[in-house]
Homo-oligomer: A and B are copies of this chain.
Amino acid sequence: MPRHPRAAASVTAMSGSIFSALAGRLAEYPGEVYPLHVGDTWMDPPEGCRLEDLKASEHPGMNRYASPRGMLELLEASAAEVTRRSGLETEPREVLVAAGATGALGAVIGAIMDPGEEVLILAPHWPLIAGIVRSFHGVAVQVPFLGLADSPETAVEIVREAAGERTVALYLSTPNNPTGRLIPRSWLEALAEWARRRNLWLIADEVYEHYVYRGEHAYLRPMAPERTFACHSFSKAYGMAGNRCGYVVGPEALMDQLRKVSTHTFYSTPTASQIVAAEALRSAQPWVERAAASYRRAGEAAAQRLGVTPPDGSTFLFVDVAHALDDQGLLGFLERAAERGLFLAPGPSFGPYPTHVRLCFTSAPPEVVARGVEVLAQLMGR
């Protein structure tokens, strides 16, 4: 019983910051820093979509609470965007605006999972999803998938072996953070069909949907709209991570349950952030195209220098550095990188990957990323 001075068991058991061991060094590093550990962009948000562009005189309610479900204008614009991009006719009442895709995923997990139940998480995975499941007292089952599945049949085989009596949902991210891979349409269709047979929820983290460099991003929700929650991000789409605004689309009957959870974890999404998000949906497509071209060049250049496969999408490369580790292991490698100003995210944050690192090739301007990648290539002996 976690009374004073103890904390909740599931929270205590969660590992701390995924980067805490090296955070101090970043602040103190005297030379040029290559902060490739963060999933963010160096670009400023689109013109007209920055908080500094807002005038309270034009948006009289911008300092006050917004509706916990989201501002009507943004709900409508988001539904229209999802309809346009995914091809599935989507209504505002199927949308919940949230404090970033993180808040959206928290609302989903909180709404569909009772304590002790399990969520299957296809790995490598976005680092926070396991902690979200644990924060709501569930069991995060990491399922190594990308790099192992090679067909719709093996995709289903992998999840079938991982599922148990207490499994309630399957989470996946495509375009994938951290690998930069896309999950093929035929695999998604097979997973959706399997989830339907098993009566499971599906959670599709599609926050990098705008950043696809080869192949085609397939939307999961149209394959099983009755059971799929799809999470989207203005942070990732339009370079406004600091605004904390994203949204989730899902079965109408469940959205009230999600809204209850979001209301009780952050109440409403920042009002001004919603106003600029709606503006971005209206006017920022040219910015996205410029960003995608720049991101693609940066990703391809990084992959080429490191001798790895170029990314299909997202803003990441996930690199196995096993051959470059000494008896200090991965932490020693990360420290050697940090000594040269290069900061990377450790593989274990993404699942059972003790010899991998993740780098974000958009978190600094391309020339800075290139110099950071050069440091990594040298550390890898390439």
Q: Which of A52-60, A311-319, A331-339 contacts B (4 or more CB under 8 A)?
A: A52-60
Contact present for A52 and B50 (CB under 8 Å): no
Contact present for B117 and A2 (CB under 8 Å): yes
A240 an interface residue at 8 Å Cβ cutoff? yes
Task: Give residues of chain A (167-200) contacting chain B, Cβ–Cβ below 8 Å.
Answer: 167-169, 199-200
Task: Give residues of chain A (21-72) contacting chain B, Cβ–Cβ below 8 Å.
Answer: 38, 40-41, 44-45, 50-52, 54-56, 61-66, 68
Q: Fill in one digit per residue for A106-120: 1 if any B CB lies within 8 Å of its CB, else 0.
A: 100011111111000
CA distance A270 to B38 in the complex (A): 17
Copies in the complex: 2
SS class of chain A's interface: helix, strand, loop or mixed?
loop
Contact present for A1 and B242 (CB under 8 Å): no
- With beta carbons under 8 angstroms apart, the residue of B4, B40, B168 that contacts A65 is B40
Residues on B with beta carbons closer than 8 Å to the beta carbon of A11: 110-111, 257, 260-261
Contact present for A2 and B267 (CB under 8 Å): no
| Given A2-B117, A112-B8, A114-B2: A106 in contact with B266 (beta carbons within 8 A) | yes
A162 an interface residue at 8 Å Cβ cutoff? no
Q: Fill in one digit per residue for A245-276: 1 if any B CB lies within 8 Å of its CB, else 0.
A: 00000010110110111011111111111000
Q: Which of A95-103, A285-293, A320-328, A344-352 contacts B (4 or more CB under 8 A)?
A: A95-103
Q: Which of A74-82, A130-138, A212-220 contacts B (4 or more CB under 8 A)?
A: A130-138
**Chain B, Cβ-Cβ closest to A18:** B263
Contact present for B267 and A244 (CB under 8 Å): yes
Can you list 21 A-B pairs, Cβ within 8 angstroms, ordered by A?
Answer: A1-B166, A2-B113, A3-B168, A4-B199, A4-B227, A5-B227, A7-B112, A8-B110, A8-B112, A8-B257, A12-B257, A50-B63, A52-B52, A62-B242, A63-B242, A65-B242, A128-B263, A135-B261, A135-B265, A242-B268, A243-B271
